[in-house]
Amino acid sequence: MFHYLKYFLFHIIGLLAAVSLFMGSDWIVYGLTGIFGGYILLDAILGDDTSTPRFKHPGILTAQLWLALPLLSLIVFAFVWQVSPGDVLGVGEFLTSVTGYDLLASKAEASVLSNVSAVLITGLMIGMIGTITGHELTHRTWDPVSMFVGRWLLAFSFDVAFAVEHVYGHHRYVSTTKDPATAPRGRNVYFHIIASTLKGNISALKLEAERLRKMGFSPLSIRNSVLRGYAMSACIVALVYMVGGFEATLLFIAAGLFGKALLEIVNYMEHYGMVRNPELPVQPRHSWNTNKRFSSWSMFNLTRHSHHHAHGEVPYQNLRPYPEAPTMINGYLTTIVIALIPPLWHKLMTPKVLEWDKKYASEEEKVLAKEANRTSGIPALVKGA
């Protein structure tokens, strides 16, 4: 039972974010600090989880994923209510009468700091609850319900194209120069966010157009899932505007873009500097892995990325830890913080990349790695250190 319950950490974190958004003012700052800091602290002290339990009731685990859509909708509504004028749908008055806490008074005390924190915590939840779960569900191409829920989750970060590019592009070309999501050695994370976003959408449009042409349909039709995805995101933005007005819409767009940026930062972390012949199968060594206990339990084993890329069809609960695979700097949010400081990132990752060349690369990959090091300037970085 514990192994089923541990994945509800994901939902508890989401509910804490929603509560902090409704409570407003300083509580939003506390919520953001607590969630972000909690991940870094708990990953540091709880160590690794290398267990591989067997689950007799996988339907429960799928239902946990589906719950992400109403949970994220609640969080976004709490955000829109908090940053919009007035008491949308009378929610503040109702919750005040139930809890005794004056939400409307707290909302009136909103500051620039609390509004910025609201954007950040909502973007963090869009990235975690929306993208992580959407990623898992849109791999289940055989399950229409999971695909429906997953695509709507991705729509909050304007990234339904991910459901096409990730499954049919990224998983085929990961750790090669053909993959937009794989960051070459020496690349800056901020450049990667923009480059991977643009190239990923272009790739998704090309893949979908190719699929439709093979079926005898025009790419410019309702059958194009990428174009439908853009429309889904537009519907969410329109609904936010109807509920919260212009300012709330701008702030929601900022939160959604932050959620999308988090995905690209994670892409950056997961495959940075790795090389592979695209004609050969993907192996566990072609992804940076981590088994930090808190990240694993609260992110549906996204951390076990080495197994995921070696066998993309395996459900999250069955992913193996692969402790012998190349490992990230730390847990996910800790590594995100480090990635956002390029000098620190390169100082810590350059030795790991060079170790990967010696320990994990095949003979063919050693040649590719040598060329990648030359073009990225890694020898100069090492000499400078």
pLDDT at 308 over 50: yes
pLDDT given for residue 278 in this prediction = 86
| CA distance linking residue 41 with residue 293, whole number of Å | 11
Per the structure, how many domains does the chain have? 1
Task: Point out which residues pair with 318 in neighbouring strands.
Answer: none
pLDDT at 24 over 50: yes
CB 16 within 8 A of CB 31: yes
pLDDT tier, 378 (very low <50, low <70, confident <90, very high otherwise): confident
| CA distance linking residue 233 with residue 239, whole number of Å | 10
Q: Over the stretch 83-131, which tens digit does the pLDDT of each residue have?
A: 999 999 999 999 999 999 999 999 999 999 999 999 999 999 999 999 9
Closest to 136 (Cα-Cα) out of 371, 301, 350: 301
Planar angle of CA 77, 316, 294, nearest 5 degrees:
70
Q: Is residue 206 classed as helix, strand or coil in its secondary structure?
A: helix
pLDDT given for residue 1 in this prediction = 80
Task: Point out which residues pair with 292 in neighbouring strands.
Answer: 48
- Domain holding 238, by residue range, is 2-384
Q: Over the stretch 327-336, which tens digit does the pLDDT of each residue have?
A: 999 999 999 9
Closest to 225 (Cα-Cα) out of 138, 100, 99: 138
CB 24 within 8 A of CB 105: no
pLDDT at 382 over 80: no
Task: Point out which residues pair with 48 in neighbouring strands.
Answer: 292
Mean pLDDT of the region 276-294: 93
pLDDT given for residue 379 in this prediction = 62
pLDDT at 384 over 90: no
pLDDT given for residue 233 in this prediction = 98
pLDDT given for residue 97 in this prediction = 96
Q: Over the stretch 202-228, which tens digit does the pLDDT of each residue have?
A: 999 999 999 999 999 999 999 999 999
pLDDT tier, 385 (very low <50, low <70, confident <90, very high otherwise): very low
**How does the average pLDDT of the chain come out, rounded?**
95
pLDDT at 2 over 60: yes
Share of the chain above pLDDT 70, in %: 98
| pTM, full prediction | 0.95
| CA distance linking residue 179 with residue 325, whole number of Å | 21
Planar angle of CA 363, 366, 368, nearest 5 degrees:
120
Share of the chain above pLDDT 90, in %: 93
Phi and psi, residue 58, nearest 5°:
-65, -20
Q: Over the stretch 187-198, which tens digit does the pLDDT of each residue have?
A: 999 999 999 999
